[in-house]
Amino acid sequence: MRTISVMWLREVKRFIRSKSRIVGSLGQPFLFLIALGYGLGPVFEKAGQGNYLEFIAPGIIGMSIIFSAIFNGMQVIWDRQFGFLKETMVAPVSRLSIMFGRTVGGATVASAQGLLVLILAMLAGFRPVAWIGIAPALITMFLIALLFSSLGIMVASLLRDMQGFQLIMNFLVMPLFFLSGALFPLNNVPAALLMIARFDPLSYGVDALRFFLIGTAAFPLALDLGILLGVTALFLALGSFFFSRIEM
C-alpha cells in the first residue's frame, strides 16, 4: 500500500511541477469548445437538438481525460530508456504495487485535467442541469481515467520505443474519441456506426457524463457504468500481467 501511495504521489508531483503541461492540456479543449460549441451551435440548434455547447462539453471533458491518461504510458517508456524504471524495479516491492501506483497516479492527473476542462466549459457558458450531478460526474471521470491509464501502461509494457508507442496511441486515441459520440448524438446515426460506437469504451464514459451533467443519455446508465467497470478491471488485469513481465 505504501508503494502505491509513493508512486501515486510521484505522478501527481510531476504534473504539478510541469506548468507547461497544465497550460497545454487546456489549449485543445478550449479550441474545441469555442470553435465547435459556438461555430456549429446555430446549426445544431436549427436541427432541433438544443444547445451544442452543452452537448459537446461532456465529450470534450472525456477527450482531455483520455489524451492525458493513455499517454501516461509514455512515462513508463521514458523511465525505462533512462534507467529510472530499473531503479524502481530493483526495490524490494512487488511490481504490481508499482503498476497500480503509476496507474492510479496517472488517473488522478487525468481526472484533475478533466475537472479543469469542466471549469473552463463553465466559463465558456456551459451549465450542468443539476449541480448535484457534479459529484457522480467526477467519479465517472476518474473511472474513465483509470481505464485508459491502465491501457496506456499495458501498451507501454510491451514496447521499448517511444516513437512506436506514439504511433500506436495515435492510431487508437483518435478513433476512440471521434467514434465515441463525443461530437455527435448516437441516437440517429447509421446502424453500422452505432455498432462501432458500442465497442468503444469511451462511448459509455461520455454517455455517463452526459447523464450526470445534462440529463440525457443514449444508453442506460447501468450499462454505461457496468461497461466502464468491467473494461477497467480487464485492462488493470492485463496491464498488471504485462508490467510484471517487463525485461529491463
**Per-residue confidence (pLDDT) for residue 3, from 0 to 100:** 47
Answer whether 86's CB lies under 8 Å from 231's CB: no
Task: With CA atoms as reference, report the closest residue to 239 among 160, 173, 162, 153.
Answer: 153
- DSSP letter string over 54-65? HHHHHHHHHHHH
Q: Which long-range contacts (CB under 8 A, 24 or more apart) does 113-117 make?
A: 113/22, 113/25, 113/26, 113/64, 113/65, 113/68, 114/61, 114/62, 114/64, 114/65, 114/141, 114/144, 114/145, 115/141, 116/22, 116/25, 116/26, 116/64, 117/26, 117/29, 117/60, 117/61, 117/64
pTM comes to 0.86
Provide the grid cell at 195.
Answer: 455498432
Q: What is the pLDDT of residue 2?
A: 52
Based on C-alpha coordinates, what's the Rg of the chain?
18
Blockwise average pLDDT, block size 10, the chain, 248 residues: 53 55 69 77 66 86 87 72 60 69 84 89 85 91 91 80 72 85 83 88 92 90 93 87 69
Segment 102-112, tens digit of pLDDT: 888 888 888 88
- Rounded CA-CA distance 108/10 in Å is 11
